[in-house]
Amino acid sequence: MIVLDNENFQRVEKHIIKFTNPYYNMLMDFCRRSKDLYNHANYLIREEFIKSGKWLRMGDVDKIVKDDSIFPDYRNMPTAQSAQQVLRLLDKNWKSFFASIKDWSKHKEKYLGRPKMPKYLKKNGYYILTLTNQNCKLKDGILYFPKVFNGFILSPQFINRDDFKSFQQVRFIPHRNKIVVELIYRIALPSQKYDNNRYIGIDIGVNNLMTVCNNTHNQAFIVNGKPLKSINQYYNKQKAHYTKVCKQMNNLDYSKRLDRLTEKRNLKIEDYLHKASRYVISYINAAKNSRACPWDEVVTY
């Protein structure tokens, strides 16, 4: 969760578009166009910086690629807003590069070498596609996309929240066999509760993922962290094995099997952490209704 101001929080809702989805190929093609524009703009910035030491900012690059008739990567994007979002991300990467250079000049011991300029994306790769609320419209609980998306829509769940304030943007993040769609929205900041001298404490650890106790005479408990260690140990062992096999057979460092293994491991960890946090929230909600701990109100988010 990100605090935007004194009244709003920023939250993210995820949707998965699998390769079997009829819109998958279209969305991946948009992500490929995003990559083309990123590399085109990055080439212009790199060449100008190497030639004259000048940093082309987003506004300058936007004018150049918009008028380029030989490489129409800007016009190939689904919308002008999505093209500008790519340039904004690239400008942010260059800003980080210059910040690293400045820090490197003062603290060389922190680095293995001089920070390098932002690299080009892989020729056959993909990049994030971002659409703002100027392109996507939320109406009657359905998120509608521009006409170029050929009827693609989403049904967000955040509209059912009582504290929902506004929809912000959509990010399409490409993976090997799926697209993760992140919906960014804002919720209202819960009102601050008065101090009633009833507290719950959570100690984060490794073997004991969470040790939860309180001062209200409710029973303390421990969330076991060893299953997470077991998941990681199995993953590291399998990854080492298949990386070795992949290197021997094809002289590659990665394969589809390794990709599936990594995805499965990430989903298992995410699922376990969500269940653990849900258990703690349920514990608090149950405690507030018990006689031993008459909590006035507990806000969960």
Domain boundaries, the chain: 2-188, 200-288
Q: Can you tell me the distance from the alpha carbon of 108 to that of 288, in angstroms, rounded to the nearest whole number?
A: 53
Phi, psi of 144 (to 5 degrees): -95, 140
Q: Is 118 left (phi over 0), alpha (psi -120 to 50) or beta?
A: beta
Split the chain (301 residues) into runs of 10 and give each run's mean pLDDT. 62 93 96 97 95 93 92 94 96 95 90 92 94 92 95 94 92 91 92 78 92 84 93 94 88 83 92 92 76 43 36
For residues 280 and 212, the answer to whether their CB atoms sit within 8 Å is yes
Beta-strand runs (E) in the chain: 2-3, 8-18, 129-132, 137-139, 142-144, 153-154, 164-174, 178-188, 200-204, 208-214, 221-224
pLDDT score recorded for residue 211: 92
| Closest C-alpha to 56, from 8, 118, 1 | 118
pLDDT score recorded for residue 297: 42
β-pair partners for 11: 185
pLDDT score recorded for residue 2: 53
Phi, psi of 115 (to 5 degrees): -55, 140
Q: Can you tell me the distance from the alpha carbon of 167 to that of 10, in angstroms, rounded to the nearest whole number?
A: 10
Which long-range contacts link 134-141 to residues 24+ away (Cβ below 8 Å)? Answer: 134/81, 135/79, 135/81, 135/82, 136/167, 136/169, 136/170, 138/167
pLDDT score recorded for residue 49: 94
Q: What angle do CA 149, 152, 158 make, to 5 degrees?
A: 125
Q: Can you tell me the distance from the alpha carbon of 285 to that of 278, in angstroms, rounded to the nearest whole number?
A: 11
Q: Can you tell me the distance from the alpha carbon of 301 to that of 294, in angstroms, rounded to the nearest whole number?
A: 20
pLDDT score recorded for residue 4: 52
Phi, psi of 59 (to 5 degrees): -60, -40
